[in-house]
Chain A
Amino acid sequence: MKAYKKEVQFTIWMTAAFILVGNVGLIFSIFPVDGMLFGFPVMYIVPILMGWFGVFFLTIVAGKIGNRIDDEIDSENDALGVSDEAKDV
């Protein structure tokens, strides 16, 4: 039960985080911001930086958590005493 809940929650929250980080333009279209950052308008450069480094950071987090959840599913399977034959191909 624990690994299942983690898997579902991870997928929902991670998807939401990715969509948010990749669509900062949408947020700025609702809440416009004036000002400059690194010589560019904030509303121009922040979506670009988030769409690169923000997404890159999230892929590292998602990869690590995804691998850990796989391991937990495997250990819950092992606790059932089921053989290993159907393990990940």
Chain B
Amino acid sequence: MEAQNWQLSNPILGLAVVGATFVLFYVVGFLSNRKSASAKDLYIGGGNVGAFTNGLAMAATYMSLATFLGITALILQLQVPFIMLWIQLILAIPLITIIYGTSLRRMGAFSPTHFIRDRYGVTASIIAALFMILVSIMYALGQMIGIAITFETLLGIPYLTGLFVFGIIIVGYITIGGMAGATNNAAIQMVIIALMFILPLGAIMKAVGATGWYFPPLFYSDMVPAMLESLPTFFDYQFSPKWYFSIIPALTIGALGLPHLAMRVYTASNLKSARSAMVWFAFILGLVFSATYAMGFVGVYATATQGLVISDGDADKLTIILNLVYNPEWVTALVIAGAISAGLSTLSGNLLAIGALISQDIIATLKPNIPERLSLRIGFIAIFAGGLVSILLAIEPPAFLVVSILWAFGLAGVTNAPLIIVGVWWKEANKFGAIAASVVGGAIYIIVSPFVFPSIVLTGHGVTDGMGLSGAMLAVPISFILLIVVSYITNRMPGLQNKLTKQSDIELIERIHGWKDIKSYRYNSTIGAGVTVVVSAAIAIWALMPWGM
């Protein structure tokens, strides 16, 4: 089989399926949006979404085009190490929920930045908001690339045409829909994503001769011997324990700082419901993640044993290509609709986060008295503008769409996660520490990324640096150290006392943990802070030592 131009031969069929899913989303979005009267409705759906719907929506927001197209592409490139990297991404919502989600839900926060404003003041919150806008745009960029690639395959149109025409249509839908529409839609999208990924995968497995096609996520072990014979290195871990360790600061902690994800915890109707949503999230995400590993496995299997040729430039299309080769066209059309659903739900989460960041966290913070109508309008404009920027950035995309998304995780882990985690659990954390952590940590992370100064990188291994694994392993611990040490010192400088808000910080922390009284022993451990600094210093030093890649 030769490398070729992969596209549907019957684009009308594909367009009809995609059109039908869009109509469904528009109707749900429109019906839900009629209720979207205030900013609270727009961003967190009124805060009364049920556990199952919310669990599905959390999974759909998280499960972006990266899951549908990106993972399989990088499994083709990196093989098993990338699967090991991806597995822990399921921890995002559970860790957000237990570490700070319920506290912020109790506080009634719109967004993590809202917490940072109340905890550290306006300057720190605006710095955090600016970084979060960058995070959301980089994340949205990956979705835009995926959407353009999907339409490229669907209609055989050039990448740029797909990007502009369909990018703008999708951004328009999100601007009109708001979060209530997004939450209901995301739940529907999750069902579509799961069905359109797993059922066609079963058909592909049947076509390549696997006997476990009836449960694709786990039953493909009969393909293992042939895989080991033709590609014995597939299951090799390839990298050192240091590489596997760097996944924790970059992606596990990184996910804790993602604005659009944490917002899903706040849409829960109460704390118990938020915790139930986390259980649904884990079950459904585990199912679909396992199916994507199987899809990646089948893709590598098909190239290794069945003579399928996929050029480097087409790696992001692997999922669609497998369907084109092994399934009837109408199935591929459904898969494409599923891919677009995946991109749509995440993109709406990203763009709504940008809307909330600009209108609530920056403009309403600087000018608290602007009318709600105007604030809402600014939110809509920000959502649309954020979408346009991500379209423009996608004109010259990086080699793999997943790279920009994972890099965004690291940036969130450096500039946002330490401020929230330490801010919720340690009363001494103050605004000077927060600003130092966010600005210095963020600057270091950006400097050592290959995108700004390609010669200043930690490993020289393109994908490792590009995904931010090495940068985050250095910058995340530095951010924790700066936050703790600078706060500890400035709290003891007499000249700064009138610039700090110690009493209100203490009251806020007690309140968001559910206490009605104040006790000095609570959330005040110097030993805990000291241990965090020592462990962080050791990790940062380790990151600077040679990676041997």
Q: Are B282 and A77 in contact (CB under 8 A)?
A: no
Chain B 283-304 near chain A by CB (<8 Å), digits 1 or 0: 1001101100100000000000
Q: Are A67 and B272 in contact (CB under 8 A)?
A: yes
Q: Are B91 and A18 in contact (CB under 8 A)?
A: yes
The answer to whether the Cβ of B451 comes within 8 Å of any Cβ in the partner chain is no
The answer to whether the Cβ of B97 comes within 8 Å of any Cβ in the partner chain is yes
Residue of chain A at shortest CB distance from B297: A44
Contacts of A15 in B (CB 8 A): 95, 98-99
Q: Are B106 and A51 in contact (CB under 8 A)?
A: no
B100-151 contacts to A, CB under 8 A, are 102, 106, 108
Q: Are A32 and B88 in contact (CB under 8 A)?
A: no
Q: Are B289 and A22 in contact (CB under 8 A)?
A: no
Given contacts A23-B248, A47-B84, A52-B286, contact A80 B516 (CB under 8 A): yes
Q: Which of A14, A30, A43, A66 contacts B235 (CB 8 A)?
A: A43
Q: Which of A48, A63, A70, A86 contacts B290 (CB 8 A)?
A: A48
Complex Cα–Cα for A14 and B102 (A): 15
Given contacts A22-B252, A29-B240, A44-B235, contact A56 B283 (CB under 8 A): yes
Given contacts A39-B222, A67-B272, contact A52 B289 (CB under 8 A): yes
Given contacts A39-B221, A59-B279, contact A88 B106 (CB under 8 A): yes
Query: Does more than half of chain B's interface fall in helix, strand or loop, or is it mixed?
Result: helix
Q: Are B270 and A88 in contact (CB under 8 A)?
A: yes
The answer to whether the Cβ of B511 comes within 8 Å of any Cβ in the partner chain is yes
How many residue pairs, one in A and one in B, have C-beta atoms under 8 Å apart? Answer: 154
The answer to whether the Cβ of B517 comes within 8 Å of any Cβ in the partner chain is yes
The answer to whether the Cβ of B215 comes within 8 Å of any Cβ in the partner chain is no
What's the minimum C-beta distance from B290 to chain A, rounded to whole angstroms? 6
Given contacts A18-B91, A39-B224, A66-B275, contact A73 B514 (CB under 8 A): yes
Complex Cα–Cα for A68 and B276 (A): 14
Chain B 249-278 near chain A by CB (<8 Å), digits 1 or 0: 000100000000000000000111001101
What's the minimum C-beta distance from B507 to chain A, rounded to whole angstroms? 11
Complex Cα–Cα for A74 and B87 (A): 36
Q: Which of A22, A23, A59, A82 contacts B517 (CB 8 A)?
A: A82
Name B's A-contacting residues (CB within 8 A): 80-81, 83-85, 87-88, 90-91, 94-95, 97-99, 102, 106, 108, 218, 221-222, 224, 235, 237, 239-241, 243-245, 247-248, 252, 270-272, 275-276, 278-279, 281-283, 286-287, 289-290, 293, 425, 511, 513-517, 519, 521-522
Q: List 11 A-B contacts (CB under 8 A).
A: A22-B90, A24-B87, A26-B84, A26-B241, A32-B237, A50-B87, A51-B289, A56-B279, A59-B282, A62-B278, A77-B514
